[in-house]
């Protein structure tokens, strides 16, 4: 069946190619160039399309425009006195649709005598930050097998594992999925996924439309004091503004759904960007006769208004509607549906931001709200309810952030963030046969409660350079009114020694605190919980042998000093990653916890990346060798639940010309540890042998993607074939108990998964 589907897709792909005639039309590339330190516009910066004679110089307001650009994919070099040369790669131009860029230039603060001046395809940073990589929208869009998902794309980076192929729960340097921080245009979002896991940060698919994304900064640890409340990683997603030249848009059809984008100017000082998407998984699942039928919508809108040369307002709102319907018309479907917790959800996050510029600096003031309505339930095979979770979580955030350039080599940042969880409403019922204590005694949980919570974080950092050294020193003080200890101080320090223009050594240390997830607080705690705590040390070496090539090696050691141990399961730590079946274990951390577990994670990472340049080959390679261990409440050191000793990724693409492009991705990693079932055929896990079972089999998968572009007089068309799991590997993602056969069974992927995509730009 899969082979026939693949042949049909290829036939459609080449049929479209044969009936369309390419007619190139010239368009323009415009944008704004600003200082990364002060956000002030930069005049006199030269923008030049590499490999052509096309270019422009920025005006007094930082604006530039390159006219009469043929459709294609380009790299644009930006140069200016006193600033690092930078190349913006992967600038995609289609017929009839102007492109708007936003470029931030970094001041030269380390001058090496006799150094060769050359551009870099990798944006340098003001502060010295370890373990950070940047992807743009084209890096993500063209990556095979990631379904244009910004979160799945970060799994290609070093130190990042996943729980299973069908989800994007990130496992960063051995940490659980709830340890990851996600920020979208300055808004901290608890979970940015459709059907997201409550109290954690993963899910099947991101709600962020890739066409809204300007760049993604991912840090696997060592992020500065501006960011708090999480232990392991930071994913900072910056969205683009709408076009300020004319009304345009896009219609797209992908493997998971279809959608449309509309953007353009409102007047000379404002623009908008709006999208709506709907999945068609429900249509496919119904046609295939499945019993579990998911459906989702998401909506995204952004307004940008320039009040004057120094003040800008922006408003962002993103929402999602997620629902599941069940087909229970036969015994097999009823049994299959009884193995799944049904995650109906509605969610949104919105924010208003005011940026103001002043002499040698800028400030951001914002107010935002996040809200999720959870309606999760599970029935048995006779359609009797066995689990109910009706919860609402809403939070308001008010932020003030200041960045000052004290002198050409010194930058000061400070600010405050107040969060008020104004709506925390929980109506939950878990039967005793699921929620048992350490003696296997039933402990039914019935919760109907509402409460509020306050947290506040104040931070300050200073970055300065002396000769070949650059330092960033900072600290953060957090207050949580719902924890046992109220105040938590987090010092952070990092430094870079620039050996020569292309090589540097970096060392960083940071302490990180994370408050318990709100849903954990209603799990039957006998006393207030403390915040989770970790300390991270990172030593790295970075080398850029070519302008478009980066090589990075890092060693890290992460100490967990306060981590949630499970009182009902004293051998284990809390590590939920999404619950497909709540009969497997107690869901969402709804159990008594004690922050007395400890642990560590250590490893070495190698990362090599080549950006698309005049040599039309691009790609990345990452290798992670690591070890993670925990001591829970029984004091015995055991393998950590997300210990993945070996992870290897390679993604390579080649652009044959301005129309055809081929890319591939291969991933191989160790299987996660498992806990064996008890010998009594009860289907219960034997926690006295926690993580002592056989590991899941080695995971490996090859994905490929072929892109074709057509450029007609007034619109552009992009089509692609994306084939996941090319050699149909049956990767095992989970071992669960089959109550019909009274034996364990292995859940595996479905094999080869071909799909097509069509994107129409106008």
The single residue listed with the structure tokens 């623009």 is 271
Q: What is the pTM of this model?
A: 0.93
Q: Checking phi first, is residue 383 left (phi over 0); if not, alpha (psi -120 to 50) or beta? A: left
Spatial neighbors of 133 by CB under 8 A, at least 6 apart, are 157, 217, 218, 607, 609
- How many other C-beta atoms can be found within 10 angstroms of the C-beta atom of residue 577? 21
Task: State which residues of the chain have pLDDT below 50.
Answer: 13, 15-24
Q: Give the fold, CATH level 3, of 128-761.
A: Maltoporin; Chain A (2.40.170)
The rounded distance, in Å, linking the Cα atoms of 461 and 446 is: 45
pLDDT in the model for residue 274? 97
pLDDT in the model for residue 392? 98
pLDDT in the model for residue 601? 97
The answer to whether the CB of 9 falls within 8 A of the CB of 721 is yes
pLDDT in the model for residue 149? 87
Say how many CA atoms lie within 13 Å of 136 toward its Cβ.
Answer: 18
Max distance between CA atoms of the chain, in angstroms, equals 78
Spatial neighbors of 750 by CB under 8 A, at least 6 apart, are none
Closest CA to 141 of 211, 195, 192: 211
């Amino acid at each position: 069946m899969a082979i026939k589907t693949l042949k049909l897709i290829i036939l459609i792909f080449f049929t479209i190619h044969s009936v369309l005639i390419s007619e190139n039309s010239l368009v323009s590339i415009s944008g704004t160039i600003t200082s990364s330190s002060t956000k002030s516009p930069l005049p006199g910066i030269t923008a030049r399309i590499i490999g052509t004679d096309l270019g422009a110089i920025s005006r007094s307001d930082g604006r530039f425009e390159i006219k009469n650009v043929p459709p294609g994919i380009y790299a644009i070099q930006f140069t200016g006195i006193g600033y690092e040369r930078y190349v913006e790669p992967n600038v995609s131009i289609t017929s009839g649709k102007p492109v708007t860029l936003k470029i931030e230039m970094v001041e030269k603060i380390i001058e090496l005598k006799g150094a060769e001046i050359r551009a870099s395809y990798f944006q340098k940073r003001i502060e010295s930050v370890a373990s950070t990589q940047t992807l743009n929208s084209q890096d993500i869009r063209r990556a095979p097998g990631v379904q244009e998902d910004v979160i799945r794309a970060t799994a290609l980076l070093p130190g990042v594992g996943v729980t299973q192929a069908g989800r994007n729960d990130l496992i960063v340097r051995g940490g659980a999925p709830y340890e990851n921080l996600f920020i979208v245009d300055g808004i901290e979002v608890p979970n940015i996924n459709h059907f997201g896991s409550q109290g954690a940060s993963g899910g099947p698919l991101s709600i962020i439309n890739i066409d809204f994304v300007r760049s993604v900064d991912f840090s696997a640890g060592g992020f500065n004091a501006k960011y708090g409340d999480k232990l392991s990683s930071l994913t900072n997603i910056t969205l683009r503004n709408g076009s300020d030249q004319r009304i345009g848009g896009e219609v797209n059809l992908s493997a998971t759904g279809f959608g449309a984008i509309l953007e353009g100017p409102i007047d000379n000082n404002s623009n908008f960007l709006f999208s709506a998407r709907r999945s068609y998984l429900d249509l496919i699942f119904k046609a295939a006769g499945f019993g579990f039928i998911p459906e989702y919508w998401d909506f995204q809108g952004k307004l940008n208004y320039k009040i004057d040369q120094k003040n800008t307002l922006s408003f962002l709102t993103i929402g999602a509607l997620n629902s599941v319907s069940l087909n229970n018309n036969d015994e097999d479907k009823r049994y299959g549906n009884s193995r799944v917790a049904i995650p109906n959800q509605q969610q949104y996050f919105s924010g208003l931001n005011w940026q103001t510029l002043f002499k040698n600096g800028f400030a951001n003031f914002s107010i935002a709200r996040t809200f999720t309505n959870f309606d999760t339930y599970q029935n048995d095979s006779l359609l009797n309810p066995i689990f109910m979770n009706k919860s609402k979580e809403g939070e308001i955030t008010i932020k003030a952030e200041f960045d000052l350039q004290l002198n050409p080599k010194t930058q000061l940042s400070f600010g405050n963030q107040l969060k008020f969880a104004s709506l925390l409403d929980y109506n939950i019922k878990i039967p005793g046969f699921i929620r048992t204590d350490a003696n296997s005694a039933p402990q039914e949980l019935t919760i109907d409660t509402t409460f509020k919570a306050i947290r506040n974080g104040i931070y300050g950092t200073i970055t300065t350079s002396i000769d070949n050294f650059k330092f960033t020193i900072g600290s953060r003080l957090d207050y949580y009114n719902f924890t046992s200890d109220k105040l938590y101080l987090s010092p952070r320090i990092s430094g870079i020694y620039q050996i020569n223009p292309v090589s540097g050594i970096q060392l960083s240390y940071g302490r990180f605190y994370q408050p318990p997830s709100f849903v954990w607080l209603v799990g039957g705690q006998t006393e207030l919980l403390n915040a989770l705590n970790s300390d991270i040390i990172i030593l790295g070496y970075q080398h850029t042998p070519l302008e478009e090539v980066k090589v990075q090696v890092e060693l890290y050691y992460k100490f967990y000093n306060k981590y949630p141990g499970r009182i009902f399961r004293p051998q284990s730590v809390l590590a939920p990653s999404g619950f497909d079946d709540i009969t497997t274990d107690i869901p969402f951390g709804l159990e008594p916890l004690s922050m007395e577990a400890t642990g560590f994670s250590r490893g070495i990472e190698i990362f090599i990346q080549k950006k698309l340049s005049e040599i039309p080959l691009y790609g990345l390679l990452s290798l992670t060798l690591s070890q993670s261990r925990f001591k829970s409440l029984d004091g015995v050191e055991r393998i950590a639940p997300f210990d993945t000793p070996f992870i290897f990724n390679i993604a390579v693409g080649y652009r044959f010309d301005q129309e055809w492009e081929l890319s591939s991705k291969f991933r191989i990693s160790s299987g996660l540890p498992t806990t064996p079932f008890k010998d009594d055929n009860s289907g219960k896990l034997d926690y006295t042998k926690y993580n002592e079972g056989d590991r899941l089999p080695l995971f490996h998968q090859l994905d490929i993607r072929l892109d074709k572009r057509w450029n007609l007089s007034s619109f552009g068309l992009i089509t692609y074939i994306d084939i996941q799991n090319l050699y149909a590997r049956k990767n095992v993602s989970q071992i669960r108990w089959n109550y019909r056969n009274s034996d364990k069974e292995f859940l595996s992927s479905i094999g080869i998964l071909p799909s097509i995509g069509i994107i129409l730009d106008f």
